[in-house]
């Protein structure tokens, strides 16, 4: 979005989904001086949200009813939807219908601004250099439902929405090298990686918050794109794991660009080479 202008000052933020990304995000937002609320679907995790300085809420939201979100959303300036779709684990899950119900509550509670954590899976099998002008052609059920969610949010006239399309997520207790070495040969070893570290996910969200004025769509992928063979060979050494077996190939080779968010929000990446397990 060109000519972006700073919007109304944000004071209160809700993080809907305090999981691997949402909990450290809530912690950082508290440190930034915001009044922060966070949700979880399990009572056992309420104390974890409270421990980072956020106000905890138990979410019992379903595809039929999200009325339980009303106290969480009441008087918020901004809500960040950081709920993983979970469709790979449950192919029958209707994440898009869940987001429908969430939107109803956001509108009912007059929350003016929404950030939605999406994925570069919405680009499907597109190849080459990809920026935000690339049409979405998802091929997975998760990608299809994410596109539907994005459109519902961007077309809603009652709030401003920012869509953040993150690449593959890595960070503490989360790195694909550990599962890849167990799965056998890594195919398409010559294709480029398109990943982002948790630290930079949080930094990009921080950068968006003060400037969310009107609808926005941004890619969030580290500008570091070696081949899978180059990258995972280095990560196997770092993790002291057996060297993976690679199968050459460039199926769906692409480089997803984050130039727009860097230019518009003047936000750089901290973990640039992604050679870290933490």
Residue-wise pLDDT for 183-226, tens only, equals 889 999 999 999 999 999 999 999 999 999 999 999 999 999 99
Residue 4 has pLDDT above 80, yes or no: no
12-171+194-225+254-265 belongs to which CATH class? alpha beta
Cα separation, 154 vs 167, whole angstroms: 20
Beta bridge partners of 14: 37, 79
CB 208 within 8 A of CB 114: no
pLDDT on residue 272:
87
Query: Residue 174: beta bridge partners?
Result: 171
Q: What is the predicted pLDDT for the residue at 8? A: 67
∠ CA 128-130-133, rounded to 5°: 135
Neighbour count for residue 218 (Cβ, 10 Å):
23
Q: What pLDDT sits at residue 96?
A: 97
Q: How many CA atoms lie within 13 A of 71 on its CB side?
A: 9
Share of the chain above pLDDT 70, in %: 97
Which residues in 135-181 belong to E strands, given as ranges? 160-166, 168-170
Q: Which secondary structure element, helix H or strand E, spans residue 102, and what is its range?
A: helix 95-108
For residue 89, what pLDDT is reported? Answer: 87
Average pLDDT over residues 95-119: 98
Asked if residue 6 has pLDDT above 70, the reply is: no
- Degrees to nearest 5, angle at CA 63 with 219 and 102: 50
The pLDDT, as a whole number, for residue 129 is 98
Domains in the chain: boundaries: 12-171+194-225+254-265
Residues 180, 244 contacting (CB under 8 angstroms)? yes
């Amino acid at each position: 979005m060109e000519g972006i202008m700073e919007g109304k000052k944000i004071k209160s933020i809700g993080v809907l989904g305090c999981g691997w990304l949402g909990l450290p995000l809530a912690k950082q937002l508290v440190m930034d001086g915001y009044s922060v609320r966070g949700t979880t679907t399990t009572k056992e995790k309420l104390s974890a949200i409270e421990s980072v300085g956020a106000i905890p809420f138990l979410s019992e939201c379903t595809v039929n009813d999200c009325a339980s979100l009303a106290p969480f959303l009441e008087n918020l300036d901004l809500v960040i939807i950081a709920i993983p779709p979970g469709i790979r684990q449950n192919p029958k899950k209707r994440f898009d219908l869940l987001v429908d119900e969430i939107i109803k509550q956001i509108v009912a509670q007059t929350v003016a601004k929404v950030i939605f954590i999406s994925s570069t899976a919405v680009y499907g099998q597109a190849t080459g250099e990809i920026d935000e002008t690339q049409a979405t052609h998802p091929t997975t059920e998760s990608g299809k439902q994410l596109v539907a969610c994005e459109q519902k949010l961007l077309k809603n006239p009652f709030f401003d929405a920012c869509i953040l399309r993150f690449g593959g997520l890595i960070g503490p207790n989360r790195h694909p090298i550990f599962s890849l070495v167990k799965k056998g040969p890594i195919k398409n070893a010559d294709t480029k990686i398109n990943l982002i570290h948790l630290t930079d996910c949080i930094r990009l969200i921080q950068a968006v918050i003060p400037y969310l004025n009107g609808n926005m769509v941004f890619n969030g992928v580290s500008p570091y794109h070696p081949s899978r063979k180059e990258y995972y060979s280095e990560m196997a050494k770092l993790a002291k794991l057996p060297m993976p077996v690679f199968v050459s190939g460039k199926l769906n080779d692409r480089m997803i660009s984050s130039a727009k968010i860097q230019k518009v929000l003047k936000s750089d990446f901290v973990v640039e080479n992604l050679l870290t397990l933490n």
